[in-house]
Structure 1
Amino acid sequence: MEFRVLQYFLAIAREETISGAAEHLHMTQPTLSRQMKELEDELGKQLFIRGNRKITLTEDGMFLRNRAEEIVNLVEKTESDIMRSDISISGDVYIGGGETKGMRLIAKVIQKCQQEYPDIKFHLYSGNAQDVADRIEKGLLDFGIFVEPADVSKYDFLKLPDKDIWGLLMRKDSPLASLKTITADHLKNIPLICSHQKLVRNEISGWMNSDFNQLNIVATYNLIYNASLVVEEGNIYALTLDKLINTTGESPLCFRPLEPQLEVGLTLAWKKYQIFSRAAEQFLKTLRRELEKDA
């Protein structure tokens, strides 16, 4: 399977027509059709459903699209890192992480790097721990920020000084909004939205000292923003970290911490034996300097 053929395939998936893809690629339709037929023959799979007006992907085609995008992005990232000038530090740094106020430290480091090395470009990816770990393994991220609990044993990592606090997000007119803190008993008879991550559920179970499945979980979330919209609309509560959703001013929402307090740490991780680009190396150096200042 040739790299250029994957690029042709992605063009068709994006344009949804052979003619549109051929025009974009500056090649003839028959040539492009033949390349795709040879690709399907090579893989022994049908990749396209050819309709009257547009082309759609089969299940195998959608799988290949996801992998092809990862391959193309990784190749482009590698070429960019290698071709950067040896004179000045430039390049791209890819950082992924879940929603956490600890990103403010990363934002501060990014700003400092930009001031000193304006040719460094940063790319931020939001996702849960599994999403970020997958992208690190595939070489699509240089660094990942993990909210505890997270298994970082297979990575090199730095502990970040910020701490996040678990609590309950709710409407300001909810019955529990009059409380200063939320106990395990308060959670047992209310409709809850919770992260779908197993490690998070285990953490909450340990805090409750009882089975998490006893709770009335009516929905799960990957990232909290969309879940907060559900909370706004009705008498539903979300277990989440503090400072992720604006609860000040005219916001209809408020946050109450758990009691006893459930505090979690943050970790910046990367592949063991990672060979960094000069840009990524400079980001890590700047972060270490910031951490030393706060030590």
Structure 2
Amino acid sequence: MDNRDWLILHTLFHEKNITKTGKILYIAQPTLTKRLKQIETELGVKIVDRGIKGVQFTPQGEYIAKRAEEVLHIFREIKEDIDNFNHSVSGTLRLGVSNFISKYKLPILLKLFKEQYPDVEFQVDTGYSKDIFNLVYTQSSHIGFIRGEYSWPDQKHLLFEEELCIASKHPIQLDKLPHLPRIDYRTDQLYKQLVENWWTEHYSEPPYIAMSVDQGDTCKEMVLNGLGYAIMPSLFLRDIENIHKIHLKDKEGKKITQKTWMFYYNESTELNVVSAFVDFIKELDVYHL
């Protein structure tokens, strides 16, 4: 068995579907099925059963699939160590990045870093901050860019802090806010809690949610077209002139903000590529890129 075989078992165990696994790994379904039979023959055990409910792993197959994650981790560590031996900045940098940062900040960051270190490759996972936190915590990613106040046991660096705003096409009065159409968008739970806490501090009735959309950019476009107001971080509204903004403040009059962090383990910086990227980020004004 080679590294590709372990990756097949690992992916299939999580997807429980031959077709999805083939698409993820760019392997045709007949080829994948044939390779699975070859793995079973090589190991001398039946690994999966295919039925109406999809792929079911046998007890032996489940054991092998769970060990596959360990094997892949060892392969990855060996490759990173080899890349590190010559003291050059090369190899694959594994990043976990929250959805918003991946769209607005990550492309330019990777471009600038690649210009300095052309031998570096990137493996990027994106998602909500809670998911990125787990990727960094389990060391599936070397570094995580995370929005919100998560308790982190090791190294972290503040990338920027942004204010939360009420955004609307036309001027609005705060005392009328509960009766005005609000546009919400899918986002991290910690951010939602921050907004909800502000709301309950100032109003005794719930907001009138006129729309719930999937992304912040969609929400912003709805606001720009006068379909309602939204509560958004200031970075969403940067360089937009034809929009009215009211900064959220607590009862003491202090502006409510959200921080974006870089999380990593100190031991990860023993890898040249991680150390170089951490230093690179610390020297940048990420907010104004």
Q: TM-score under structure 2 normalisation? A: 0.65
Amino acid at match of 1:192: I
| Equivalence for 2:234 | 242
Specify the SS of the correspondent of 2:162.
strand
| Equivalence for 2:150 | 151
| Equivalence for 1:90 | 90
| Equivalence for 1:190 | 181
The 8 Å contact of residues 99 and 244 in structure 1, kept in 2 or not, is answered as no
The 8 Å contact of residues 205 and 212 in structure 1, kept in 2 or not, is answered as no
Taking the TM superposition and a 5 Å limit, the aligned residue runs for 1:14-25 are 14-15=21-22, 19-21=30-32, 25=35
Specify the SS of the correspondent of 2:150.
coil
Larger displacement relative to structure 2 (224-233 or 80-89): 224-233
Specify the SS of the correspondent of 1:38.
coil
Pick aligned residue for 2:265 from 268, 271, 286:
271
Taking the TM superposition and a 5 Å limit, the aligned residue runs for 1:223-262 are 224-225=216-217, 235=227, 237-244=229-236, 256-260=245-249, 261-262=255-256
Mapped to 2, the partners of 1:152 and 1:222 lie a distance apart of 27
Taking the TM superposition and a 5 Å limit, the aligned residue runs for 1:74-113 are 74-84=73-83, 85-100=85-100, 110-113=110-113
| Equivalence for 1:165 | 163
| Equivalence for 1:132 | 132
Specify the SS of the correspondent of 1:214.
coil
Specify the SS of the correspondent of 2:89.
coil
Structure 2: which 5+ residue stretches go unaligned? 250-254
How many residue pairs get aligned? The number is: 264
Distance 1:184 1:117, change over 3 A: farther
Deviation of 1:131 after TM superposition, in Å, equals: 0.9
| Equivalence for 2:114 | 114
Deviation of 1:136 after TM superposition, in Å, equals: 0.7
Deviation of 1:186 after TM superposition, in Å, equals: 1.6
Q: CA RMSD in A?
A: 4.8
Deviation of 1:285 after TM superposition, in Å, equals: 2.1
Structure 1: which 5+ residue stretches go unaligned? 41-46, 170-175
Pick aligned residue for 1:288 from 265, 269, 282:
282
Pick aligned residue for 2:38 from 31, 38, 43:
31
Identical positions, percent? 9
Distance 1:177 1:158, change over 3 A: same
Alignment of 1:177 onto 2:169: yes
Pick aligned residue for 1:215 from 207, 211, 217:
207
Distance 1:128 1:8, change over 3 A: closer
The 8 Å contact of residues 192 and 238 in structure 1, kept in 2 or not, is answered as yes
| Equivalence for 1:123 | 123
| Equivalence for 2:252 | none
Specify the SS of the correspondent of 1:178.
coil
Distance 1:116 1:19, change over 3 A: closer
The 8 Å contact of residues 6 and 72 in structure 2, kept in 1 or not, is answered as no
Amino acid at match of 1:165: E
